[in-house]
Structure 1
Amino acid sequence: MQVVCSQRMSLPFTADPVALYRSIRQLKSSPYMYYLNLEDFHIVGSSPEILARLEDEKLQSDLLQVQDVEGRMKKMILRWNKIMVNDPKEIAEHLMLIDLGRNDVGRIAEPGSVEVTEKFGIERYSHVMHMVSNVEAKIKDNLSAIDLFRATFPGWNCVWSSKIRAMEIIDEFEPVKRGIYGGAIGYLSWQGNMDMAIAIRTAIIKDQVLYIQAGGGWVADSVPELEWKESLNKGRAIFKAAEMVQEKLEG
């Protein structure tokens, strides 16, 4: 049993949310970057992870595992690459993610079409490194992007396994509702295509306060201090961008 428990963090923010979005883009922190003005509040995010993508009946889901290392030095990057692809615990957890993702996709895919197209790839962004595998398949002829969304939501990386029991534990122990954290941001097109990112590394700005939520996977032998530090590192890119914007405003 593994559960992703998260914490909410906040800081005062009086600058323009659009300026924060531009600052995040300068950091090049993730492949998905977005800004939404919803009048009462703003959403600014830089998610590194696909929930699911459907394009011309071909679907894709990424399984992503995080290492909370900043990795600015080349030697450190090479060292962590080696650790991630050789550590038995990391490999076991990632193999479980692959199996879970294949099971999700397999429910709506044409028989025999499910394929792991990339395995144990390493991707590095501004403040974290990820081990990534891709699962691809052909969706059944009678199903749509909505069926793909239902099969894959919520993403495993924000709840873990077993999914329903993990969500029950999260609901019992987390002191605040998650809101958008662990949700999805993306689009559904008129052509039937879809591209959804998991809403992580995502900030809510409301009433001059910036909120961000992040967490880590807990098992029986997890070290609380390390899990707490991991959640801080996951929010670091947005906090750094917010500080840059605030400093310009105050200066």
Structure 2
Amino acid sequence: HKQYFIRNFIVNNEKGRLKEIFGENDLIESGTGTDEIIKRTSSEIRIINERFRTGLVDIKDKIVEKYLKNPVSGLELKSNLTKDEYDSGVNKTREHIYAGDIYQVNFSQRFKAEAPVEAMDLYYILREKNAAPFSAYLSFPEFSIGSSSPERFLYLKGDIIETRPIKGTRPRGKDSEGDLKNARELAGSIKDGAELNMIVDLERNDLGKFCYYGTVKVAEHAVVEKYARVFHTVSTITGQIKKGIDAADIIRAAFPGGSITGAPKIRAMEIIDELESVSRGLYTGSIGYISIDNTMDLNIVIRTFIMKDKKFYYNVGGAVVADSRPDMEYQETLDKGIAL
């Protein structure tokens, strides 16, 4: 009997029946040499990728040009919290810290506005104005999601796992001198450094649940990274996962990310649930992929909007520690919100 590799197929779940639909050109005989299979497949992938990328660039350029010529104005952003309410939440969090309940909590507010643009348009404008390495766009019948996340939650390749928590934010300067000033201020911030140290310790502990003893390392610590609108301090923690561990095991042990909950994680989440008046929903969750070979790359859902019924919503938050000042914490959320 001949055996075939099927390169393309569609699974149609129709009334509970699965159908595989493919054409003659989608079959490669098993006797075909490996080098020939790789050569043919790689060539087709390059062609498809080029068509896909070219099409997206054309769409993006047209959308961006449209709104540059006719910018949207008069949008009124509304928060679910007044400044006084946000300040009160920060102070209540500090009370928990002084009581010994927690060391740090990520406290957030949610903004909403009427959106006289399509979700895809808004996402492409976001990509143009606030590019970030872990962006995503998802469209569903009832709502759409556009993310310009700068933060990687988990990256698994082979048996090596990586997480890159972010703590500390400063706006970009108006010029190179302003950039340098703000980057140095962030690098020298004792408070931001303490926030990151706590989360690095938490993430090391999370990775230790499924990595071999002694393999969890802080590869980089407190590196100031430059993004389109802000600076962040970032650390990179890696480890070697134990034999038999898969992506689902890792997510179960590490989710949600420590940078957007606090430390200790469980108690921090309980306090967030107590103090935040609306559910976070997708915010601070993850978007990404898990491939058939167990490779995984997930972001942290920040700098992300959800659009539903011509309204868009997005959350912004910041870490609260013992010496946090409510006015500065509130301003940090505005800096992040403006970036979006």
TM-score with structure 2 setting the length = 0.67
How far residue 131 of structure 1 moved from its aligned partner, in angstroms, is 0.6
Q: 1:109 is matched with which residue: 196, 202, 211?
A: 211
- Name the counterpart of 1:7: 109
- Name the counterpart of 1:91: 193
Q: 1:60 is matched with which residue: 148, 162, 165?
A: 162
- Name the counterpart of 1:133: 235
In our comparison, the structure showing a higher alpha carbon Rg is 2
C-alpha contact (below 8 Å) 2:145/2:307 kept by paired residues: yes
How far residue 102 of structure 1 moved from its aligned partner, in angstroms, is 0.9
Query: Which is further off, 222-231 or 35-44?
Result: 222-231
1:31 aligned to 2:149?
no
What amino acid is aligned across from residue 122 of structure 2 in structure 1? L
The CA RMSD measured in Å over matched residues stands at: 1.4
- Name the counterpart of 1:248: none
How far residue 28 of structure 1 moved from its aligned partner, in angstroms, is 4.2
- Name the counterpart of 2:143: 41
Distance 2:143 2:204 in 1: 36
Q: Which residues of structure 2 form unaligned runs of 5+? A: 1-102
Q: 2:337 is matched with which residue: 210, 218, 235?
A: 235
Matched residue SS, 2:262 = coil
Distance 2:187 2:328 in 1: 20
- Name the counterpart of 2:291: 189
Q: 1:96-175 to 2 correspondence within 5 Å? A: 96-175=198-277
- Name the counterpart of 2:328: 226
Distance 2:324 2:339 in 1: 24
- Name the counterpart of 2:41: none
What amino acid is aligned across from residue 73 of structure 1 in structure 2? D
Distance 2:125 2:222 in 1: 30
How far residue 170 of structure 1 moved from its aligned partner, in angstroms, is 0.9
- Cα deviations by residue, 1:31-85 (Å, 9 ceiling, x for unpaired): 1111100110000010110111101121100021131323232112222222223
1:176 aligned to 2:278?
yes
How far residue 95 of structure 1 moved from its aligned partner, in angstroms, is 1.8
How far residue 197 of structure 1 moved from its aligned partner, in angstroms, is 0.2
After superposing on structure 2, the runs of 4+ consecutive aligned residues of structure 1 that deviate more than 3 Å are: none
Q: Which residues of structure 1 form unaligned runs of 5+? A: 239-251
C-alpha contact (below 8 Å) 1:29/1:237 kept by paired residues: no
More contact order relative to length (CA 8 Å, sep ≥ 6): 1
Distance 1:34 1:4 in 2: 23
Distance 2:183 2:255 in 1: 29
Aligned residues: 238
- Cα deviations by residue, 1:183-210 (Å, 9 ceiling, x for unpaired): 1111111111111001011100001001
- Name the counterpart of 1:77: 179
Distance 1:16 1:120 in 2: 38
Distance 1:32 1:25 in 2: 11
- Cα deviations by residue, 1:110-162 (Å, 9 ceiling, x for unpaired): 22221211122111112221111101111111101112212221111211111
Distance 1:29 1:230 in 2: 19
